[in-house]
């Protein structure tokens, strides 16, 4: 399996519901380093997994929709616990939609999967992986 990873970051604000989150139940900011890994079994006709420039631009576009926002105030997250795991899936699903729409090029339709990792810090991160 071949893989290419691009990296960006995003700053958000949110609060988390439930005793398990302790002080994170209060409104707080988070800066995530975000890795998006694109996978495929065989290289495309150009000899690549995906165009790295396009992948980086599409990741930036997805994250741009979240940047500097209080997720507690965003209608699309109403009732959701915007945990790191939840946000990893959100980003992966948005990237998958962009792959299917052709935003990463026609050959990207041959990708087999995407994995997104949100790094909360140098000691903690969460990932979500999905098929395409």
DSSP state of 33: E
CATH architecture of 2-66+73-131: 2-Layer Sandwich (3.30)
In the chain, where the domains are located: 2-66+73-131
| Average pLDDT score, the chain | 97
pLDDT in tens, 90-127: 999 999 999 999 999 999 999 999 999 999 999 999 99
What percentage of the chain carries pLDDT values higher than 90?
100
pLDDT given for residue 55 in this prediction? 98
pLDDT tier for residue 70 given thresholds of 50, 70 and 90: very high
Sequence-ordered alpha helix ranges (H) in the chain: 52-64, 84-100
Full-model pTM: 0.96
pLDDT given for residue 51 in this prediction? 97
Residue 88, φ and ψ in degrees, nearest 5: -60, -45
**Measuring CA to CA, which residue among 14, 40, 18 is closest to residue 27?**
14
Cα→Cα distances 67→21, 61, 87, 124, Å: 22, 10, 12, 20
pLDDT given for residue 77 in this prediction? 96
The torsion region of residue 11 among left (phi > 0), alpha (psi -120 to 50) and beta comes to beta
């Amino acid at each position: 399996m071949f893989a290419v990873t691009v990296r960006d970051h995003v700053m958000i604000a949110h609060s988390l519901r439930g005793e398990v989150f302790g002080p994170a139940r209060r409104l707080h900011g988070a800066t995530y380093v975000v890795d998006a890994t694109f996978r495929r079994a065989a290289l495309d006709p150009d000899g690549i997994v995906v165009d790295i420039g396009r992948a980086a631009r599409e990741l930036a576009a997805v994250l741009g929709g979240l940047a500097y926002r209080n997720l507690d105030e965003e209608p699309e997250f109403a009732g959701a616990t915007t945990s790191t795991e939840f946000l990893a899936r959100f980003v992966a699903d948005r990237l998958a939609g962009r792959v299917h729409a052709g935003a990463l090029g026609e050959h990207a339709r041959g990708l087999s999967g995407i994995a997104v990792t949100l790094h909360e810090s140098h000691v903690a991160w969460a990932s979500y992986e999905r098929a395409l």
